[in-house]
Amino acid sequence: MKYIITLMILFSSMVTLSMAKITYEEIIPQLNPCKPYVIETASEPSSVCCAVLKGLDEVASGSKEDRKDICEILKTAANKLPIKIDKANFRLPSICGLHTLTHIDRNMNCNV
C-alpha cells in the first residue's frame, strides 16, 4: 500500500511539472530512490526509481522545451556527483523502459 501511495504522489507531481517550468530543485529530490543504483550500492534500480524516471520520460515527451529542461537537470545532477556514474546511467533508460530519455550521462547533448 505504501508503494502505491508513493507512486500516486510521484505521478501527480509529474503532471504538475508538465504544466510549469521544470526546475532542478523539484526534480532532484524525486531522484533519490535512484541513488543506490547510480552509485553502485544496489545491483538494480528500485521500482520507485524507474517510476520516477518513467514520469520524467513522459513529461519529456510532451514538448522540446520540457525535454531540454529535464535533460539539463539530469546532466547537472550527473556532474554534481563526486564519482563516475556514467556506466550505471547508460543502463537506466533501458532497464526502466524509457522512450524519450534514452541516454543519461555527464556529456549528453540536450539541444537535440
d(CA 80, CA 17): 22
d(CA 57, CA 31): 13
d(CA 109, CA 88): 18
Task: List, for residues 49-67, the tens digit of each pLDDT value.
Answer: 999 999 999 999 999 999 9
Q: What is the mean pLDDT of the chain?
A: 81
Task: List, for residues 4-34, the tens digit of each pLDDT value.
Answer: 555 445 555 554 444 568 889 999 999 999 9
pLDDT confidence of residue 99:
94
| Residue entry with cell 510532451 | 62
> Which of residues 12 and 105 earns the better pLDDT score?
105
Task: Assess contact for 66 and 18: CB atoms under 8 A.
Answer: yes
Domain coordinates of the chain in residue numbers? 2-96
Average pLDDT estimate for 70-81 = 87
Average pLDDT estimate for 78-104 = 81
Find all residues with CB under 8 Å of 48, minimum gap 6, and list them: 3, 6, 7, 10, 33
